[in-house]
Amino acid sequence: MSLYFVRHQHAAETCPAKNPEMGRMLLQHLSKANARKFGIELHGEAVLDGQHTLVLILEADQKEYVEQFMAPFAQAGSVEILPASLCEAVVERAGC
């Protein structure tokens, strides 16, 4: 499996957390059990306070799985999917 860093940003005016129903739906979508249905192992998620930015660290066999998983967020704003590595792997290969 490959490691990915994912960043989603949206405008303050379209913040999904403002709508309780949408917020509950997105929390369900971000659950580890739901991520596994997409072939994804979700390692962590956080929202950067006041920046309307969600960041995720996850693993998947294919980038397309990540794109499919992030589709609901792409409807509300931008989604950036970046390949990543664990620090241990970077040290083993002697560089970023």
Q: What is the pLDDT of residue 11?
A: 95
Q: Record the tokens describing residue 49, joined without a space.
A: 């306070």
In terms of residue numbers, what domain contains 36? 2-92
Give the per-residue pLDDT at 27: 93
The confidence score (pLDDT) of residue 46 equals 97
User: Dihedral sign, CA of 70, 79, 67, 33?
Assistant: negative
Q: Confidence class of residue 81 from pLDDT cuts 50, 70 and 90?
A: very high
Q: In this predicted model, what pLDDT tens digit does every residue of 67-79 receive, in sequence order?
A: 999 999 998 899 9
Spatial CB neighbours of 77, under 8 Å, sequence gap ≥ 6: 8, 9, 10, 11, 14, 52
Q: What is the CATH number of the domain that holds 63?
A: 3.30.70.1060
Query: What's the number of domains the chain is made of?
Result: 1
The per-residue pLDDT of the chain, averaged, comes to 96
25-65: pLDDT as tens digits: 999 999 999 999 999 999 999 999 999 999 999 999 999 99
